[in-house]
Each structure stands twice: as C-alpha cells, then as structure tokens.
Amino acid sequence: MPTAGVLIVEDDAVLAHAVGRNLTARGYDARIVGTVAEALDALEKDTPSLVVLDIDLPDGSGWEVLHTLRAGGRHAVPAIVMSALRPNVRLVTELGCVGILEKPFPIDSLLRMIKHYIGQLAALAGDQLER
C-alpha cells in the first residue's frame, strides 16, 4: 500500500515539525510548508491524501489554499483546519473541511483525526477496486 501524503501548512516551525515528526514516525509521508505560496506550489506538483492547514499565514489566508485545492477539482482531499483563530463556519462548510482544531490542542487529537480520514480514503479506494 502506498504511503499517504500529508501536506502540513503551518508557519509555526515548532508546531509544524512536531506534527511532521509524529506523522513520519507513524509511516506517513509528511511535507511541511509555511506560507500560502509554498502550499500552492506544493499542490501544483502533487495531490496529497490530506491537508492540515493553519488559517493565519504570513502571506495570506489558508482559505486561499483550500479555494485553490477545490477549484482544481480535488474535492475528495480531506482538510483539517488548525488555528488559534475561530474559523469561519461558512467557509469550513463551503470548502469541505473535515475537522477543526483550535490551538493549542493535544497532538494526539490531530493524529487520531488524520488516521481516521486517511483510513476512510483507503476504505473508499478498496471499495472502488472491488467494483
């Protein structure tokens, strides 16, 4: 089974690396970027299995990243928002976010969410292969 790719979009280097290390230790392919521009560049090159996204980034809003992801036809890619700011509920719904974590949060909460949604994707892929 191929390794699930997780794009982490977070400008707090300590948090981003803690999440990345935890995901890598669990067998995920974690890619860390810290700006909207880097995230958009990463999405041009590859489609991750899941996106973990901060909203307040140095060069713009994480919502821009999700708008680009969805506009590119990648509606099935789950996105988990992690932010110190209370997320806009309309955008959360409109852009198909599957989870929201308000900072600070226990890393285990994020890891459980990631495992759950990547597991759902694997199950869907298995169902499609059986058909």
- Cα angle: 81, vertex 11, 59; to 5 degrees: 95
pLDDT of 87: 81
Confidence of residue 3 (pLDDT cuts 50, 70, 90): low
pLDDT of 2: 45
pLDDT of 122: 79
Of the candidates 34, 96, 23, 41, which has an alpha carbon nearest to the alpha carbon of residue 62?
Answer: 34
pLDDT of 72: 86
Higher-confidence position of 3 and 98: 98
What are the start-end ranges of the H helices in the chain?
13-25, 36-45, 62-71, 89-94, 107-130
**CATH of range 5-126; options 3.30.70.100, 3.40.50.2300, 2.60.40.420, 2.20.70.10:** 3.40.50.2300
Reported as a single tens digit per residue, the pLDDT across 51-62 is 999 999 999 999
Average pLDDT over all residues of the chain: 90
For the cut 60, the answer to whether the pLDDT of residue 128 exceeds it is: no
Would you list the domain boundaries of the chain? 5-126
Q: Are 49 and 118 in contact (CB under 8 A)?
A: yes
Reported as a single tens digit per residue, the pLDDT across 6-53 is 999 999 999 999 999 999 999 999 999 999 999 999 999 999 999 999
